[in-house]
Amino acid sequence: MAKVVWTEIAIDDLNNIANFHSQYSNNFASALIKKLFDKPKILKGMPELGRIVLKETTNPFVSL
């Protein structure tokens, strides 16, 4: 079974998103980050969801 691994860059991005939104609403920022962290859990029930990634990708945000 595949495992979702959050990269340091992704965690930093989520922290930046939370910090930005918390300027306006701590409740909204917390709810948003919780939703973003929970989204990959859908893969447990639907592991083939998403697009096919080619091995030759040069995208730094995609890895096999």
The two structure tokens encoding residue 44: 């447990």
pLDDT band at 49 (very low <50, low <70, confident <90, very high): confident
Q: Tokens 């030759």 belong to which residue?
A: 56
What is the rounded distance in angstroms from the CA atom of residue 14 to the CA atom of residue 31? 12
Confidence of residue 50 (pLDDT cuts 50, 70, 90): confident
Say yes or no to pLDDT of 47 above 60.
yes
- Packing angle of the helix pair 26-38, 8-22 (nearest 10 deg): 150
Closest CA to 44 of 9, 1, 8: 1
Are the C-beta atoms of residues 2 and 47 closer than 8 Å to each other? yes
Q: 58 falls in which pLDDT band (50, 70, 90)?
A: confident
Q: Are 13 and 60 in contact (CB under 8 A)?
A: no
